[in-house]
Amino acid sequence: MSDMELIEELIKLNDEDSKMTEKQVKILQAAIEIFSEKGYAATSTSEIARKAGVAEGTIFRHYKTKKDLLFSIVTPTLAKIVGPFIARTFVNQTVGKNKLESFEEFIRIVMKNRFEFVKKNIPIIKILLQEIAFHDEMKEQYQQIFMDNIYKKMKHVVEHFQAKGEVIECPPEAVIRMVATSIIGFLLTRFLILPEKQWNDEEEMERTIQFILHGLSTK
């Protein structure tokens, strides 16, 4: 929980307009921990208050409803997920100024970057994965963010490397699906399904990258 960059971001975010109090920080931390352990619906606000060391009423001073609390955790995370894809440098690096010469390098950058991101934000990602299924507002938010950013940029990149003959000819969305599936599949296995296994991260990431590259290679 020490290296949880997102919580820090969360705090800073709100900090700018309204100065988060110490208690509010405690509430957020407690909520993240319990939501990720037992799920949103099975978590009571009184339990959050107890763990945060605040009175029950204090939660509602900062968050109008329990759902508000959930969204205040999850929405910034949703934004963060897009992070590297919005960064101007990202696309430039990839296709724009030709600094990035191969699809392989692209895949490797994404993998490394998302690996670090997931590693640092496991509990919030757990919450996000669980709750997105039940909250339509969340689903829409996510879809909009995904389509407008990740998908768009990815498509651009994929088409670029298809044109260069590095990636097989087939609908870019299928390529994106297979790449995403392989990377996400690895990250979930690594951090959620079998986190206690002894992992050689470098080796396993490399293997997964090679799998993707071979799977999509034109040769």
Partner DNA sequence: AATGAATGAGTATTCATTCAT
Partner DNA sequence: CATGAATGAATACTCATTCAT
Mark residues 64-103: x for contact with DNA by CB under 7 A, - for none. Answer: xxxx------------------------------------
In the window 6-25, what residues touch DNA (CB under 7 A)? Answer: 21-24
Distance CA 82, CA 75 (A): 12
Q: Does 37 bind DNA (CB under 7 A)?
A: no
Task: Say if CB 28 and CB 10 are below 8 A apart.
Answer: yes
**Which of 53, 165, 185, 195 contacts its own copies by CB under 8 A?**
185
Please say which residue, 30 or 158, places its beta carbon nearer to DNA.
Answer: 30
| Max CA separation in the chain (angstroms) | 64
Sign of the four-CA dihedral 121, 86, 188, 139: positive
Residue 134 partner contact from DNA, its own copies, none using kind-dependent CB cut-offs of 5 to 8 Å = its own copies
What is the distance, to the nearest Å, from the Cα of residue 153 to the centroid of all Cα atoms in its chain? Answer: 16
Amino acid at 192: L
Rule CB under 7 A: is residue 38 a binding residue for DNA? Answer: no
Report angle CA 10, 12, 18 to the nearest 5 degrees.
105
Contact between 62 and DNA (CB under 7 A)?
yes
CA–CA gap between residue 70 and residue 31 (Å, rounded): 8
Binds its own copies (CB under 8 A): choice among 134, 140, 147, 148: 134
Residues whose CB is less than 8 angstroms from the CB of residue 71 and which lie 6 or more positions away in sequence, other chains included? 137, 138
Could you say whether residue 147 binds its own copies (CB under 8 A)?
no
- Among the listed ranges 9-17, 42-50, 78-86, 191-199, the one in contact with DNA (CB under 7 A) is 42-50
Q: Name which position in 11, 15, 23, 39 contacts its own copies (CB under 8 A).
A: 39
Site residues (vs DNA, CB under 7 A): 21-24, 43-47, 54-62, 64-67
